[in-house]
Amino acid sequence: MKVLFQSADADAQASLDLLARQLPQAHFDLWPQAGGEAHDVAVCWKPPPGFFRGRRFRAIFNMGAGVDALLQDPELPAATPIFRLEDAGMAEQMEEYVAWAALGYLRNMDVYVRQQERAEWKQLDPRPRENFSIGIMGLGLLGQRVARYLHAMGFPVRGWNRSERGIDGVTCYAGEAGLSKFLTDTQMLVCMLPLTPETQGVLNAALLAQLPRGAYLVSIGRGLQLVEADLLDMLDSGHLAGALLDVMPQEPLPADHAFWRHPLITVTPHISAQTLMEASMRQIAEKIDAFMRGESVSGLIDRNKGY
């Protein structure tokens, strides 16, 4: 079996070595050093334009959960199955990130950080956790894990998803019909949706206005889901109390971007769930192995849905 390996990350060779150790029977080529020879499968992450030109694979394995960047490639072979990374250590990181955001907002930590900058000693009233409702948009592999985790921490949790979901202790809403009800009582909105034509710009003024006054936004799906100007308006008008943004319309976020210096915005550099290379390469090796043996493989992308 021949594998073509490509990664936009600096340590591509190290990742390839990890994968090669899991698949000793396979021959690996690292792109772009590899010549024009044929390969059975591609393992890739954000391939540059031209990567797929003139190439055919039996399957493509994406080294991340989101395939939005991959599906943008006009030369992506039309009928080749694409498999994505599923959890591989990302769910636990998402749980930690959102728990930190929830506790930080609940306990006014962002306000205390700003007070410290002014040497201001002022105690704020605590908010009871049981009255602080968190809404998760997108109850997929990662969203479900976060919803369950927050519920176990004692927060009232609600979720919104395309199809109906039943999660113990979590109030679930589905589709357009359930969206307004979901938003009305959500004090902290966490977007964990994949980026698709439907979800691009979903975090806009019309949606954010349905949150109660003083709500907080956590954006950890993809940056293009957020309409930047609408967020700034909502913060300036006081409708939103703050936002924690891990994903940006343009990454890295340009140094002169308003988000960096906005007093009510916290920026993190796309780290809410990082790819853990050992676990990820182990999972991709298992998927390749199963695929080559003709077994069913989970994580197949539905190109019509875009995730």
- The residue ranges that bind ligand NAP (CB under 6 A) are 65-66, 90, 138-143, 161-163, 192-196, 198-199, 220-222, 246-247, 270, 272-273, 307
CB 86 within 8 A of CB 283: yes
Which residue has the closest beta carbon to ligand NAP?
140
* DSSP codes joined into one string, 168-221: TTEEEEEHHHHHHHHHHT-SEEEE-PPP-TTTTT-BSHHHHTTSPTTEEEEE-S
Distance in Å, CB of 127 to ligand NAP, minimum: 26
CB 174 within 8 A of CB 165: yes
Which tokens go with 118?
Answer: 């002014």
**Any catalytic annotation for residue 239?**
no
Among residues 107, 165, 270, 282, the one annotated as catalytic is 270
Q: CA 205, CA 209: separation in Å to the nearest integer?
A: 6
* CB nearer to ligand NAP: pick between 186 and 199: 199
CB 29 within 8 A of CB 3: yes
* CB nearer to ligand NAP: pick between 50 and 269: 269
48 residue type, one letter: P
* CB nearer to ligand NAP: pick between 142 and 264: 142
* CB nearer to ligand NAP: pick between 199 and 280: 199
Residues 6+ apart with CB under 8 A from 73: 47, 49, 51, 52
**Any catalytic annotation for residue 162?**
no
72 secondary structure, DSSP code: T
Active site amino acids: 222, 270
